[in-house]
Chains A and B, each alone.
Chain A
Amino acid sequence: MDIIKQLTSILDKNSLLYKKEEIIPYSRDASFFKGSLPLAVTIPNNVEELSRIMKLCYENEIPVYIRGGGTSLTGASVPFENSIVISMAKFDKILELDTISRYVVAEAGVRLENLNSYLDMFGYFYPPDPASSIASTVGGTISTNAGGLRAAMYGTTKEWVLGMEVVFPNGEITRFGGKVLKRSLGYDLTALMIGSEGTLAVITKAILKIAPKPRKIGRILAYYDEIEKVGEAVAKVKEEGITPMIAEFMDKIALESIKKTKGISYPENSNVMLILDIASEESSLDPLLERAYKIINSLNPIQSKVTTDPIEMERIYLARKGILSSLLVERESMNQYMIIGDIVVPPSKLAITLKEIQECNKNFYFKISLLGHIGDGNIHITIFTDPNDVELMKKTEEFLLETGKIALKHEGSVSAEHGIGLEKKKLLIEEFKAKNSLVNLEIMKQIKKVFDPKNILNRGKLLE
């Protein structure tokens, strides 16, 4: 209780919550991991308050859990006992826009969709677009190096962060990077923060690169009987020197769920759908689109079409973006939960990887749905399971481990964009082992010690 007393000297009463009913909402994120109730939740109004909270916790060695949108799928933002949660919600302002230098400065709690509605007024956008962009924040997405549909062309969050302001566990405030596109200043501390999952320092604001909105986008939809053809089609498009902006695939279960929820039908005899977006300046789109469409058709799809109608395109984009929601209708009971795997392989290995996953599931008998970003080889295996069934969860973990191993066999990775959190701690070690690089883990631990010698930030996650 003492800590709460001390926190009241930093925060007004509206920014400090500690009654049970007030803090219950902070005990979970979007994963199945159930955290504990923290001692208190703080909602600092500014960086000074944040810094004082950190200092206080540091001196008292109280674990601190940083919370952005709380949409993590890995347990990364779940707190444990005797801790303090810091909510970044009040860091909700967009501070500066420079369209000539092409950057925007936004506070850590700004939600990506709000950022993009703002940039849209000026003809710009911030490309990372996780399907959670309505709720996920600048700070959270940097901390997990979030990806999204547009990563095929624009890459993940790491390509878009120029600099940031951070608060260290001991309360010290500093700045990494800056507003310029080029820097050669020794170790890249900005890069170190990306994917750090709230274990090193608290991001309070970030300088983000922005891009002009493509003038025109064309969307190709194609349905195939075999998943290999999708991989082949995308590879051929790329060989022709065309980089798709979005290249997504989804299997029959996913298609069926979209049919049920969004009324978008698909040819009965198809097993997989490919969505391919080609973006360009207005004048040059049509020939590009035509070339890509020809390639797509050369692989004998069951059905294919091309559209530039904004309404139709939006419908398809939203259906893909909302696929996790649609898949909910495929749950066999309310107890079922969808756990979403996040492996990635070199795109050329996609077809074989997908086949092996299906083979592997023959030992587990899970209902699964396969979909993902074919442009960058990221496969999301959606597993229908029950977090309250201990035995089943053991099996789920095993299955995730096996699929991780398949990805590693093909020189891929166990986590493409969701991060490690609590969920993939074992898998992370597997990956370093497979790459004969266990020393990496040691380096990471040493880095963690430099930033956070008392291990107060996100204790119990990532490396522990």
Chain B
Amino acid sequence: MNKILEELKKEASKCINCGFCDSVCPTFSASGYKGFISARGRVNLANSLIKEIKNSSNFSLNISEAYYSCLGCYACFEVCPAGVNAGKVSELGRKLIIKYRKDQKKYLAELLVKIILKYKDPLGLSKKCAEWSQGIEIDEKSNIIFYTGHMYQLMGYSKKLEKFMLDNKLIFNLSLKFLNYFPFLNKFSSYFYDKEIEERMNNILKKIFNLLKTCNINLNYLKEKEPYPGTLLLDFGYEEEFEKYSNYVTKLFHENNVETIVTIDPHTLELFKFHYPKYAKDFNFNVVYYLDLLNVSNIKKFDKRVTYHEPCHFVRRLNYNLHLKILKEITEVIMPLHKGRNTLCCGGPDAMLYPEISENIACNRFNELERTGADYIITSCPVCFTNLYKSNKVFDLAEIFEYQ
């Protein structure tokens, strides 16, 4: 337990219990103000856990709800006077569960992990994920790869799956145990398929691809061979599985002579930038974000007033805000109350395991964006898009980009 525990201690023991983090933690209010589903509670639990382990070399506390419900939005870290990141504490807490207290794991998480390992996609849909690319021109010789990470594609499913879970909590929980043994997800998944979102997402993918092509970038795309990057493995705390998986993905890139990976969403970008180099051998690719390759000065003015939902992963984890700069160049931007490093999470990361909390957070953020009175609500992450898609005012940034 030592390494994870040491890290946990290093993070949590700095806490002075001021409670500042609770005031910004989205899961606190969204859970009906349960202290253990909030930033300070998560840190308090960690400190109790450390003490318990020190005395009895194991722990009896059930930490599952506290740590699996954390969004990893890092809003807490922004306001903590002592430099504690309750999001990191939760990540370590989940690793502890998977390593030492499997009885506290989440069935759905376990199921998804199994499917990812087997099918290289959380829903076993690798084939379907490549459908958007029909008719686009790919340069199979190029060593620059267009990498979707399946993120946009999966959104066509997650919305309905989430609704199903909300409506059928009991059945779902029971059936999950059963499904554990029969992961025929292809069939199962089609039930949750949302045609409208799927088409929208496919169009966004095409749009991004074409924006890049217009800049004369020759792109390869691995189509159905493209694996999911494994984000959820790490998110759910399956460190060993992630290590294996990331090595598999890295090998596949090498086999396909990849040199540069063009990512299109913040989750994948972050994973490749910060985590792959730690877990995967020879992950020596040039990882870029698509926006950095566009000819930004050539983007046409947009004649609607917009508000921009800054994804937490971009502003707080990657410290990246080119989106906003471009938006300000091409149109009038009215920012919501929570902006910049204080942006609010869309609730997306909780959609699978805590759909109610996720929905509360999404509604809260959507209302705040609506209150700006802007004509359009723009975001730049497929997870944020799907969670905030509560009116047809919501757009992905790429959708409003046109070259002059």
Q: Which residues of A contact B (CB under 8 A)?
A: 14-15, 17, 19-30, 41, 43, 69-71, 87, 89-90, 92, 111, 113, 117, 132, 134-135, 322, 324-325, 328, 334, 337-338
Contacts and interface: CB of A to CB of B under 8 A. Distances in A.
B314 interface: no
A43 B33 contact: yes
A86 to B, nearest CB: 12
Contacts of A325: 81-82
A25 B44 contact: yes
Given A43-B32, A89-B33, A328-B83, 20 more contacts: A21-B45, A22-B34, A25-B38, A25-B40, A25-B45, A26-B35, A27-B44, A28-B44, A41-B35, A87-B35, A113-B23, A132-B19, A132-B20, A134-B20, A134-B23, A134-B24, A328-B16, A328-B81, A334-B13, A338-B16
A385 to B, nearest CB: 13
B66 A21 contact: yes
B19 A69 contact: yes
B298 interface: no
B342 to A, nearest CB: 11
A93 B280 CA distance: 49
A24 B36 CA distance: 8
A24 B44 contact: yes
Given A19-B62, A20-B61, A21-B61, A337 B16 contact: yes
6 contacts: A14-B32, A21-B66, A24-B44, A135-B23, A322-B81, A324-B81
B63 A17 contact: no
Interface in B27-55: 28-29, 31-36, 38, 40-41, 44-45, 48
A14 B79 CA distance: 27
B18 interface: yes
B372 to A, nearest CB: 12
A22 B62 CA distance: 9
A20 B44 CA distance: 12
A13 to B, nearest CB: 10
A92 B29 contact: yes
Nearest to B37: A22
Contacts of B38: 25
B310 to A, nearest CB: 18
Contacts of A29: 17, 19
Number of chain B interface residues as a range: 20 to 34
B82 A328 contact: yes
Task: Label chain A's interface by main secondary structure.
Answer: mixed
A24 B13 contact: no
B22 interface: yes
A69 to B, nearest CB: 5
B14 interface: yes
4 tightest CB-CB pairs across the interface, nearest first? Answer: A325-B81, A25-B41, A89-B33, A25-B35
B33 A87 contact: yes
Nearest to A324: B81
A92 B22 CA distance: 14
B337 interface: yes
Contact of B62 (A21, A70, A337): A21
Contacts of B24: 134
Interface of B: 13-14, 16-20, 22-24, 28-29, 31-36, 38, 40-41, 44-45, 48, 61-63, 65-66, 79, 81-83, 337
Contacts of A328: 16, 81-83
A14 B81 contact: no
Nearest to A70: B19
B61 to A, nearest CB: 5
A111 B16 CA distance: 19
A76 B65 CA distance: 29
Nearest to A136: B19
A286 B301 CA distance: 43
Contacts of B18: 30, 71, 132, 135
Contact of B34 (A14, A30, A134, A135): A14
A24 B17 contact: no
Contacts of B79: 134
Contacts of B14: 334
A320 to B, nearest CB: 13
A224 B62 CA distance: 55
B33 A25 contact: no
Contacts of A23: 35-36
Nearest to A132: B18
B41 A24 contact: yes
Contact of A17 (B36, B44, B48): B36
A53 to B, nearest CB: 15
Contacts of A20: 61
Most chain A CB within 10 A, of B18, B36, B45, is at B18
Contacts of A135: 18-20, 22-23
Nearest to B356: A14
Contact of B33 (A90, A132, A322, A334): A90
A117 B65 CA distance: 32
Nearest to A113: B23
Contacts of B48: 24
A43 B31 CA distance: 11
Contacts of B41: 24-25
Nearest to A73: B18
Given A117-B337, A322-B81, A22 B36 contact: yes
A28 B17 contact: yes
A69 B22 CA distance: 9
A21 B82 contact: no
Contacts of A87: 33, 35
Contact of A30 (B13, B16, B62): B16
Contacts of A25: 35-36, 38, 40-41, 44-45
Nearest to A328: B82
Nearest to A323: B81
A361 to B, nearest CB: 23
Contacts of B34: 14, 17, 22, 43
Contacts of A69: 19, 22-23
Contacts of B28: 89
Contacts of A26: 35
A113 B337 CA distance: 13
A26 B33 CA distance: 12
A73 B236 CA distance: 36
A79 to B, nearest CB: 12
A71 B19 contact: yes
A400 B404 CA distance: 70
B401 to A, nearest CB: 32
Nearest to A20: B61
A15 B18 CA distance: 23
A90 B32 contact: yes
Contacts of A134: 20, 23-24, 79
Contacts of B22: 69-70, 135
A132 B31 CA distance: 23
Most chain B CB within 10 A, of A24, A41, A70, A111, is at A24
A146 to B, nearest CB: 14
B23 A111 contact: yes
B52 to A, nearest CB: 10
A111 B21 CA distance: 13
B213 to A, nearest CB: 42
Most chain B CB within 10 A, of A21, A43, A325, is at A21
Given A30-B17, A325-B82, A328-B16, A21 B63 contact: yes
A322 B82 CA distance: 11
Contacts of B44: 24-25, 27-28
B8 to A, nearest CB: 13
Contacts of B31: 14
Contacts of A27: 44
Contacts of B13: 334
A71 B48 CA distance: 19
B337 A30 contact: no
Given A17-B34, A19-B62, A25-B44, A30 B19 contact: yes
